[in-house]
């Protein structure tokens, strides 16, 4: 059901990469339309259920909190606070990803962030600390080394990453240069995975065994990459949607700039479990 609605919207709005490059606002509009349409369907379904549906433990994935240049992956600080309040109001208990994996039938919610964006330290950490909410940051080690195209205007350097660690955040790997692992040779994949882990050991004194796939869609990962991750010492690999994630990976629900209360509640309720952010 979800997929057919989403694909109908795709057909209506068009999906050529040329159109996406030429009309980013059109792409953004289409992505938002899909998210709202699926949310309304989810609301209709939950309204027709005789009793409250059972929730399952969930891991949500954010990127920036107040970096508008991050586009659909940016959530405003006000919306982020609203999301935490909605989770509390709706009966979720904040937990770590490990707790979510250990107790999947409980209404547990783990908060994660990708990319090491500076506004997470500025805008999310104070709120998370104030309320004692655990969170995980997946760091692109080459970006912390200065390799991001926008430099440190957008992402944290090691001092900033260390500040996340000092604030109690769990840190894990999001690769060395944020490549598409779906297109990498096995040797390049291995280098990305090993170098990132090694760099975190050197700069943070941390031996992480958790890895989040850059871009996170099913096409961005392969069985060979999964094997390389295991050989590099990672025990948990985080992907995207419940229904389409590659074998052996852990699902996360991506949260977007469109996620006002209706959409956010739908996301927690599972409306996007067969939907991948494709932007
Ligand atoms: Zn990323």
- Pairwise CA distance, residues 60 & 251, whole Å: 9
pLDDT for 77 equals 98
| CB of 237 closer than 8 Å to CB of 213 | yes
- Residue 241: what are its φ and ψ, rounded to 5°? -75, 150
Q: Residues 6 or more apart from 231 whose CB is under 8 A from it? A: 190
Q: Look at residue 279 in the predicted model and tell me its pLDDT.
A: 56
| CA–centroid distance, residue 49 to ligand 1 (Å) | 36
Question: What is the structure's pLDDT at 6?
Answer: 47
210: left (phi over 0), alpha (psi -120 to 50) or beta: beta
Give pLDDT, residue 13: 40
C-alpha 74 to ligand 1 mean position (Å): 12
Q: How would you label 54-90 residue by residue, b for 16+ Cβ within 10 Å and e otherwise?
A: ebbbbbbbbbbbbbeebbbbbbbeebbbbbbeebeee
* 210 CA from centroid of ligand 1 (Å): 14
Expressed in angstroms and rounded, the spacing between residue 64 Cα and the centre of ligand 1 is 10
Res. 86: pLDDT tops 50: yes
CA of 178 to the centre of ligand 1 (A): 6
Compute the average pLDDT of residues 31-42.
76
Centre of ligand 1 from the C-alpha of residue 175, in Å:
9
Provide mean pLDDT across the span 146-173: 95
Residue 172's CB is within 10 A of a number of other CB atoms, namely 23
CA–CA distance, 137 with 153 (Å, rounded to integer) = 18
Top pLDDT among 2 and 128 is at 128
The model's pTM is 0.87
Report the C-alpha gap between 132 and 142 in whole angstroms.
30
User: Residues within 5 Å of ion ligand 1 by Cβ?
Assistant: 114-115, 214
Confidence of residue 166 (pLDDT cuts 50, 70, 90): very high
Q: How far is the CA of 52 from the centre of ligand 1 (A)?
A: 34
> Which two tokens mark 232?
């590099």
33 CA distance to ligand 1 middle (Å): 23
Between the CA of 214 and the centroid of ligand 1 the distance, in Å, is: 4
Distance 247 CA to ligand 1 centre (A): 20
- What distance in angstroms lies between residue 82's CA and the mean position of ligand 1's atoms? 23
Reply yes or no on whether the pLDDT at 46 is more than 50.
yes
pLDDT of residue 221 exceeding 60: yes
Mean pLDDT computed over every residue of the chain: 87
Ligand 1 centroid vs 216 CA: distance in angstroms? 7
Judged by average pLDDT, the poorest of 46-50, 65-69, 196-200, 239-243 is 46-50
User: Cα of 32 to ligand 1 centre, how many Å?
Assistant: 20
Per-residue pLDDT, 34: 77
The pLDDT score that the predictor gives to residue 44 is 72
Report how far ligand 1's centroid is from the alpha carbon of 86 (Å).
25
Beta carbons of 99 and 110 less than 8 angstroms apart: yes
Residue 24 pLDDT level (bands cut at 50, 70, 90): low
The predicted-structure confidence for 97-125, as pLDDT tens digits, reads as follows: 999 999 999 999 999 999 999 999 999 99
If you measure from the C-alpha of residue 114 to the centroid of ligand 1, how many angstroms do you get, rounded to a whole number?
Answer: 5
pLDDT, average across residues 143-149: 93
Rg (CA), the chain: 18
């Amino acid at each position: 059901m979800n997929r057919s609605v989403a694909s109908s919207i795709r057909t209506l709005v068009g999906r050529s990469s040329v159109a996406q490059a030429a009309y980013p606002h059109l792409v953004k509009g289409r992505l938002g339309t899909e998210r709202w349409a699926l949310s309304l369907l989810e609301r209709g379904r939950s309204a027709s259920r005789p009793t409250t549906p059972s929730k399952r433990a969930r891991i949500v994935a954010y990127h920036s909190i107040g970096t508008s240049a991050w586009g659909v992956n940016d959530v405003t600080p006000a919306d982020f606070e609203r999301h935490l309040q909605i989770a509390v109001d709706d009966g979720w208990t904040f937990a770590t990803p490990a707790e979510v994996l250990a107790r999947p039938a409980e209404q547990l919610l783990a908060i994660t962030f990708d990319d090491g964006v500076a506004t997470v330290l500025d805008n999310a950490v104070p709120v998370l600390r104030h309320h004692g909410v655990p969170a995980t940051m997946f760091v692109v080690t080459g970006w912390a080394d200065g390799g991001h195209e926008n430099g440190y205007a957008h992402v944290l350097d090691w001092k900033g990453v260390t500040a996340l660690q000092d604030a109690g955040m769990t840190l894990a790997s999001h690769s060395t240069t944020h490549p598409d692992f779906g297109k990498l040779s096995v040797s390049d994949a291995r280098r990305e995975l090993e170098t990132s882990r090694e760099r975190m050991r050197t700069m943070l004194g941390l031996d992480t065994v958790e890895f989040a796939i850059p871009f996170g869609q099913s096409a961005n990962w392969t069985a060979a990459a999964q094997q390389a991750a295991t050989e590099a010492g990672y025990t948990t690999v985080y992907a995207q949607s419940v229904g389409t994630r590659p074998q052996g990976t852990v699902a996360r629900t991506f949260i977007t700039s469109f996620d006002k209360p209706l959409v956010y509640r739908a996301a927690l309720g599972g409306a996007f479990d067969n939907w991948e952010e494709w932007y």
